[in-house]
Amino acid sequence: GVDVRIAPSILSADFARLGEEVRAIEAAGAALVHFDVMDNHYVPNLTIGPLVCEAIRPHVSIPIDVHLMVEPVDALIPMFAKAGADIITFHPEASRHVDRTLALIREHGCKAGLVLNPATPTHWLDHTLDKLDMVLLMSVNPGFGGQRFIPGTLAKLRDVRERIDVHRATGGQPVWLEVDGGVKTDNIAAIAHAGADTFVAGSAVFGAPDAPEAGGGYHGVMQR
């Protein structure tokens, strides 16, 4: 069978009670903590950095999945590795030397991944797949929680699933396929069917008040 992992995004958590929030998602069965880093430059929003990663690290034993929406990328990698990140992903167009950035992440003992925006072509994977632990497909434009899933992501997921399967069949290492943005209880089955094995869910898990159309709560997503 296929492993299915839920990665709640703490972007929609209560930041005044972050320790409790991450403990609750681990107790509810989350596989990863998804940690969204925004810089008001690569994306038009500003969130959290290595200090917050370091602060939540002792509260959970599951891996912290750091999604860097920053430009430039490289200077933050040693800082997040030191702060307890387990997985670090970045957007390839935000790094001048993608292969070097991937190597830097691995040299710091973390798993590495590339993030593809809705309009970013999958050919970024042509010469990188053998150096990736994860591909993260954005199903919304990065920058905010609580947006609607972009339906064209399903076809792109099937394309990337196919690439990863061929890679595996020809002796390649495992590569997780994560999807991020607008994942809800009513579309997660279709997303899984299209090939994703790891699901970021922010507003669907935390039901944040700034995302009024989202619902569910921890258990709605976790029980799928």
Catalytic residues: 36, 180
In angstroms, what is the minimal distance from the CB of 64 to ligand DX5?
A: 13
Whether the CB-CB separation of 218 and 205 falls below 8 Å is answered with yes
Q: How far apart are CA 168 and CA 147, in angstroms?
A: 33
Q: Of 5, 67, 91, 184, which lies in the binding site for Zn ion, with binding defined by CB under 5 A?
A: 67
**Does residue number 146 form part of the binding site for ligand DX5 (CB under 6 A)?**
yes
Which two tokens mark 125? 């994977």
- Which residue, 95 or 153, is less far from ligand DX5 as judged by CB? 153
Q: Write each residue from 106 to 125 as x if it is in contact with ligand DX5 (CB under 6 A), else as -, in one continuous string.
A: --------------------
Q: How far apart are CA 180 and CA 211, in angstroms?
A: 16
Give which of Zn ion, ligand DX5, none residue 13 binds (C-beta under 5 to 8 Å, depending on kind): none
Question: Residue 65 CA to chain centroid, in angstroms?
Answer: 6
Calculate the CA dihedral of residues 93, 154, 45, 99 and round it to 10 degrees: -20
Q: Write each residue from 9 to 38 as x if it is in contact with Zn ion (CB under 5 A), else as -, in one continuous string.
A: ---------------------------x--
Q: Of 65, 86, 178, 180, which lies in the binding site for ligand DX5, with binding defined by CB under 6 A?
A: 180
From 7-15, 93-101, 122-130, 169-177, give the range in contact with ligand DX5 by CB under 6 A. Answer: 7-15
Q: Of 21, 65, 86, 180, which lies in the binding site for Zn ion, with binding defined by CB under 5 A?
A: 180
Q: How far apart are CA 116 and CA 125, in angstroms?
A: 10
83-87 LR contacts (CB < 8 Å, sep 24+):
83/50, 83/51, 83/53, 83/54, 83/57, 84/53, 84/54, 84/57, 85/35, 85/53, 85/110, 86/32, 86/110, 86/111, 87/32, 87/63, 87/111, 87/112, 87/113, 87/133, 87/134
- Which residue, 107 or 114, is less far from ligand DX5 as judged by CB? 114
Question: Residue 33 CA to chain centroid, in angstroms?
Answer: 9
- Which residue, 150 or 172, is less far from Zn ion as judged by CB? 150
From 93-101, 142-150, 171-179, 185-193, give the range in contact with ligand DX5 by CB under 6 A. Answer: 142-150
Q: Which residue has the tokens 């990698």?
A: 77
Q: Of 114, 157, 183, 196, which lies in the binding site for ligand DX5, with binding defined by CB under 6 A?
A: 183
The residues of the shown chain that bind ligand DX5, judged by CB under 6 A, are 9, 11-12, 34, 36, 67, 140, 142-143, 145-147, 180-183, 200-204, 211
